[in-house]
Amino acid sequence: MENERPKPFWKQKTLSEMSQNEWESLCDGCARCCLLKLEDIDTGEIAFTDIACKLLDSGTCRCSNYPNRQKEVPDCVVLKPENIDDLTWMPSSCAYRLIAEGKDLAWWHPLVSGTPETVHEAGISVRGRVVPELRGNDPENRIVTWPA
């Protein structure tokens, strides 16, 4: 019998079965969910901008105050197994969304590649493509198509 590797946890468990560490490791560090989004009231269509949340460290694509993010940004959405299906604005490349849809992770995901840099090398992350959230930003003029 060949040495078969055990399936990775994301292929064995549902999102709700994952430990906190497993759950957190699913985040690929793209930071696309940290972009300011606009919703058309009439159509419900979501448009992404290149304006990043004020807490986003655009170099690392990680939250600069993750444990306290909801205190500083009250509308920051906390991802949970219970709400993933309702968050239709999550990028199609998001690991949480992919797993919820029964799909596998992409080659560039750090859990697959073994390094957090592949999400940036593959051009998936927002690194080098965002402006910080500042007063005076004009979101309607900052709509982008690349996070889709």
Whether 2 is covered by a domain: the verdict is no
User: pTM value?
Assistant: 0.88
Look at residue 118 and tell me if it is in a domain. yes
87-95: Cβ within 8 A, 24+ apart: 88/46, 89/37, 89/46, 90/33, 91/30, 91/32, 91/33, 91/147, 91/148, 92/148, 93/28, 93/30, 93/32, 93/124, 94/28, 94/30, 94/32, 94/33, 95/10, 95/26, 95/27, 95/28
Give the pLDDT confidence score for residue 5 in this predicted structure. 83
| Total number of domains constituting the chain | 1
| Domain of residue 86, residue span | 14-144
Ramachandran assignment for 110, one of left (phi > 0), alpha (psi -120 to 50 degrees), beta (any other):
alpha
What is the full per-residue pLDDT of the chain (148 aa) written as tens digits?
566 888 999 999 999 999 999 999 999 999 999 999 999 999 989 999 999 999 999 999 999 999 999 999 999 999 999 999 999 889 889 999 999 999 999 999 999 999 999 999 999 999 999 999 887 778 999 999 886 5
* Residue 39: inside a domain: yes
**Is 34 within a domain?**
yes
9 domain-assigned: no
